[in-house]
Chain A
Amino acid sequence: MKAKANKAHEPFVRLVKRKEMKVWQSILLRAGAFLLSLLICGIVSSLITRKGMGYFFTTLVDGVFGTKRRIWNLFHETALLLIVAVAVTPAFKMRFWNIGAEGQVLIGGLCCATCMFYLGGKMNIYALIPIMLVSSMVGGAIWAVIPAIFKAKWNTNETLFTLMMNYIAACLTGFMITTWAPRGSGVVYFEKGNLPKVGNEFLLKIIVVAALTVIMWAYLKFSKHGYELTVVGESERTAKYIGINVKKVIIRTLILCGIICGIAGFLLVSGTNQSIHKTDTVAGRGFTAILVSWLAHFNPLYMTVTSLLVIFIDQGTGQIATLQGLGNSYSDIMTGIFFFIIIASEFFINYKVVFKFSVLKKAKKFAETVPPAPEIETEVKEKEEVEE
């Protein structure tokens, strides 16, 4: 047995897919990855700012929790990222790689802005807001359903299609903005038709997003629709076999995605920005949301945590950038590093690394524990079988 174990070719490192990781293990691993990414961000940051690690961490925490307004802002930004992440999740769960959230949100915002531009001030605000909301939802849904129809009917590659739709949306928005304000700097501000304040300017949006997140979680976990789209994601053939209309599920799910993206666009344009711009309105949230959703394993409740972490890094490093005059690109770099570490940590959750020496050790241990007698017997048996 011992000789056999040595003879068998065993690569130095081998990967084994994990079935299920214990919850405390995965939490520990992710927390470790988060701390490691903070540490690396700190090292890189102190190389750039020449201020030392202490400065990085104190400013980071101060930038996020320093004042009451900053804490509100943290939750507000988290909510805005979270709603986009929630929107893309059902599609991802169905393995429909919708990377067009950026465009879907923007079109939602554009529809809202169109209503505000033409109807703002001409009618009652409480009549206008529902119109804005509905038109945003319709706009987002249309933008999302176009790639879905082609995917369902002709299996058109959805990743590339939705990616292109982002830029078409951006150009369309640019066109509308320059039509509305030909001499402007590419931004249109709105004074009429903005969302009313509830408590303060942040609370309403946070409540809306929290409600949507819980609803989406329940939808995915308990509803028949949620079950169907999960099956389509796991195996399209199984879905067909058990009588799920795959095309219908794809189109229906993407309409849902688009509607929520539209709501996100509505909140951004009429609430947060009170203006519309080609790129700064959505500001990359559509792409970041994909990371947020993926890191949370497509569970809307976990997404609150992942989006909070992303915004934590973003706001904290933003504060350092402002104080040191480093510009937005500094937080981009830090966010990039943060993502790299977190993405890499996912590998250790999904796979187990087996080293050669540990395998040999186990084989040796096994050989020691197993009594030698039956071992010979099996070998003899094997020989007999070969002879036969």
Chain B
Amino acid sequence: MFITLLSNAIRYSTVFLFGSTGETIIEKSGHLNLGIPGIMCFGAVGGCTGAQIYMNSLTDTSQASGFVLILISILFAMIFAGAMGLLYGFFTITLRCNQNVTGLSITTFGTGVLSFWGKKMGSDGVTFYAPSKYFLQVFPTEWTKGWFGQIFLSYGILVYLAIIVAVIVAIVFKKTRVGLSLNAVGENPATADAAGINVTGYKYISCVLGAALAGIGGLFYVMDYSQGSLEYVIDAMGWLAIALVIFSIWRPLLGILGSIIFGMLSILPRYLTVTFAQIELVNMIPYAVTVVVLIAISILNKKETQPPAALGLSYFREER
């Protein structure tokens, strides 16, 4: 039973992992994007639209190529979510608006768009059960037998993609010049600017790229986890993704571990005989633990584990 729990937790963790990796990139550039829940909703809308366009373009849906379908869905999810990231970036970087306010409006807007669109799809009779089949499993079924297969090989393509992306982002942060510059932008944009780093460029790229990655999380939730159902809203996942960024102290590799823990806590009530009231208490754990981590890093006050110093502040070059 534990293996089933772990395997389901890893699968569920992908939503958080995409969201938190994206948000980490954005926060590293000094921008706290509270629009992640809305952006993930947008990713879901975009991905499903992409899948729908591809399925409609075929005369015979049974001939659909899974690879092309997934590629188009991911691309559309990234474009839709990235567009919202660009909007966020334009407001907070160029127009220097308050980041919290902008992010919250994007969340309002994004969740509104998803549930509106979902309702419309429902009334039009459009379902995503058919394209969702291609997302569920990447390896042949024989491979998923046994504990090894179940824990490591039983997932859809997006689960592996999430982990690969997190590892790549971690390497970029840790080992490359780009990561170092991004860190400088998030810690002290004025110094970074003086050092010849293109502050605005870095901020824009990280806002758009981070949002695009978070958008894939939304796509995963609809296509893989809900198996094509549009019943549930994603915004609760988005807030957990923001919590996970703190939980993983701005490190994508720890984010992989953290997302699995969050995933496990989210699905744990199903494996225990608990009352509805106790489910609420289990649901509280991720947030409570995040608060504990947040307090711990501030009390320890180590340089490596702090939030980016310029987080939440707009940078205006002419202001000293």
Smallest Cβ-Cβ distance to B233: which chain A residue: A329
Tell yes or no: A175 within 8 A of B by CB.
yes
Interface size classification for chain A: 35 or more
| Interface residues as binary, A268-308 with B (CB distance below 8 Å gives 1, 0 otherwise) | 00000000000000001001101100100000000000000
Residues of A within 8 A of B (CB): 15-17, 97, 99, 150, 154-157, 159-161, 163-165, 167-168, 171-172, 174-175, 178-179, 182, 284, 287-288, 290-291, 294, 326-333, 335-337, 339-340, 343-344, 346-347, 350-351
Contact flag A179-B277 (CB < 8 Å), given A172-B284, A291-B101? yes
> In the assembled complex, how far is the CB of residue B74 from the closest CB belonging to chain A, in whole angstroms?
25
Give 23 pairs: A residue, B residue, CB < 8 Å, sorted on A. Answer: A99-B34, A99-B100, A154-B299, A159-B312, A160-B246, A161-B291, A163-B239, A164-B290, A164-B291, A171-B284, A175-B280, A175-B281, A284-B108, A326-B116, A331-B112, A332-B108, A332-B111, A336-B109, A339-B109, A340-B105, A344-B91, A346-B95, A347-B97
Complex alpha-carbon distance, A330 and B116, angstroms: 6
A175's partner among B108, B242, B277, B290 (CB-CB below 8 A) is: B277
- Do A336 and B319 touch (CB < 8 A)? no
Q: Are B101 and A97 in contact (CB-based, < 8 A)?
A: no
- Rounded to whole angstroms, the CA-CA distance of A102 and B155 in the bound complex is 37
Partner of B295, one of A156, A327, A336, A351: A156
Query: What 5 A-B pairs are tightest by C-beta distance, nearest first?
Result: A336-B109, A332-B112, A171-B284, A339-B105, A156-B298
Known contacts A160-B294, A167-B239, A329-B116, A182 near B98 by CB under 8 Å: no
The interface residues of chain A lying within 8 Å CB-to-CB of B316 are 15, 17
Query: Closest Cβ of chain A: how far from B198's Cβ, in Å?
Result: 14
Give Cα distance in the complex from A179 to B95, angstroms: 48
Taking the nearest CB of chain B, how far is it from the CB of A183, in angstroms? Answer: 9
Q: Which residue of A lies closest to B246 (CB)?
A: A160
The complex places the Cα of A157 from the Cα of B290 at a distance, in Å, of: 12
A178-B279, A329-B116, A332-B116 known, 15 other contacts, Cβ within 8 Å: A17-B318, A97-B312, A154-B301, A156-B295, A157-B246, A164-B246, A167-B284, A168-B284, A174-B283, A287-B108, A333-B109, A333-B113, A343-B97, A346-B97, A351-B95
Binding site for A on B (CB under 8 A): 32, 34, 87, 91, 95-98, 100-102, 104-116, 119, 239, 242-243, 246, 275-277, 279-281, 283-284, 287-288, 290-291, 294-295, 298-299, 301, 307, 311-312, 316, 318-319
Q: Contact at B116–A333, with CB atoms within 8 Å?
A: yes
Min distance, Cβ A91 to any Cβ of chain B, angstroms? 12
Instruction: Please tell me if the beta carbons of B311 and A343 are within 8 angstroms of each other in the complex.
Output: no
How long is the Cα–Cα vector from A291 to B318 in the complex, in angstroms?
26
**Whole-angstrom CA separation of A157 from B313 in the bound complex:** 13
Of B32, B104, B301, the most chain A CB neighbours within 10 A belong to B104
Return chain A residues, CB-CB under 8 Å to B298. 150, 154-157
Given that A167-B287, A178-B275 are known contacts, is A159 also in contact with B91, CB under 8 Å in the complex?
Answer: no
Q: Is the CB of A178 within 8 A of B277?
A: yes
Hey, which chain B residues are within 8 Å of A336, CB to CB?
105-106, 108-110, 112
Q: Bound state CA distance, A31 and B32, in angstroms?
A: 29
CA distance A17 to B318 in the complex (A): 8
Nearest CB of chain B from residue A385's CB, rounded to whole Å: 27
B108 partner residues in chain A, CB cutoff 8 A: 284, 287-288, 332, 335-336, 339
- What is the CA–CA distance of A150 and B87 in the complex, to the nearest angstrom? 33
